[in-house]
């Protein structure tokens, strides 16, 4: 029978700090969030946060790691029929964004990167090293780095216009409808022919 009334100590502390950091970055933005705020939100000592993660940049990278799940994103592209990679990646990403009226922590991460040049630098490094490189490597196509960056431009654009700006036609559309429209675009970026000019 599971114990109740007490949260377990050690095993979840790391995860609780990351969850607290995700909340702080989403609510206050990157620049206004400090290790001290995160520690207070998680109910732990700031020194513990520093011991686990180092500084704020590393903590932001941990949040990105937990929220985006680079391994799963790359697997969505790499595993299964190649001509459905765009749809798999889009469905994975829409799942990360969550309910259109109550978006999950991914939107907070994007907000931080849009408003803080430093957060953008940290997120860019994370995306380049752990996500886009993996997707590019999974593709059997030239210009993999540019292709995966174009994919992320469309995904980030959906995050901003559907979940932040909330354009009505996008919030009214179902995930399946959006997949019908956008999956072919991601597929084109991933494996389609480049139209040279």
The answer to whether residue 145 forms part of the interface with its own copies (CB under 8 A) is yes
The answer to whether residue 152 forms part of the interface with its own copies (CB under 8 A) is yes
For 181-185, the CB contacts below 8 A with 24+ separation are: 182/90, 182/154, 182/158, 183/84, 183/86, 183/87, 183/90, 184/86, 185/86, 185/154
The answer to whether residue 36 forms part of the interface with its own copies (CB under 8 A) is no
The answer to whether residue 40 forms part of the interface with its own copies (CB under 8 A) is no
The answer to whether residue 128 forms part of the interface with its own copies (CB under 8 A) is yes
Min dist CB 59 to its own copies, Å, is 19
Q: Which of 106, 110, 139, 190 binds its own copies (CB under 8 A)?
A: 110
The answer to whether residue 23 forms part of the interface with its own copies (CB under 8 A) is no
Distance CA 85, CA 76 (A): 7
Burial of 31 (0-12, 13-18, 19+ CB in 10 A): middle
The answer to whether residue 114 forms part of the interface with its own copies (CB under 8 A) is yes
Strand partners, 19: none
Residues of the shown chain interacting with its own copies in the complex, contacts defined by CB under 8 A: 29, 110-111, 113-115, 120, 123-124, 127-128, 132, 145-146, 148-150, 152-158, 160-162, 164-170, 173, 176-177, 179-185, 188-189, 194-197
């Amino acid at each position: 029978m599971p114990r109740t009334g007490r949260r377990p100590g050690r095993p979840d502390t790391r995860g609780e700090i990351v969850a607290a950091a995700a909340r702080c970055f989403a609510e206050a933005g990157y620049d206004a969030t400090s290790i001290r705020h995160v520690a207070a939100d998680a109910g732990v000592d700031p020194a513990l946060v520093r011991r686990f993660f180092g500084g704020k940049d590393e903590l932001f990278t941990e949040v990105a790691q937990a929220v985006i799940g680079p391994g799963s994103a790359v697997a969505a592209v790499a595993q299964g029929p190649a001509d459905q990679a765009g749809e798999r990646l889009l469905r994975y990403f829409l799942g990360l964004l969550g309910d259109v009226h109550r978006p999950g922590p991914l939107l907070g991460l994007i907000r931080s990167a849009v408003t803080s040049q430093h957060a953008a630098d940290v997120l860019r490094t994370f995306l380049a090293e752990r996500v886009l490189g993996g997707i590019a490597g999974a593709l059997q196509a030239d210009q993999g780095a540019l292709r995966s960056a174009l994919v992320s431009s469309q995904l980030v654009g959906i995050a901003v216009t559907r979940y932040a700006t909330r354009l009505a036609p996008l919030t009214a559309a179902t995930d399946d409808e959006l997949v019908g429209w956008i999956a072919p675009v991601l597929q084109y970026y991933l494996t389609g022919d480049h139209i040279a000019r």
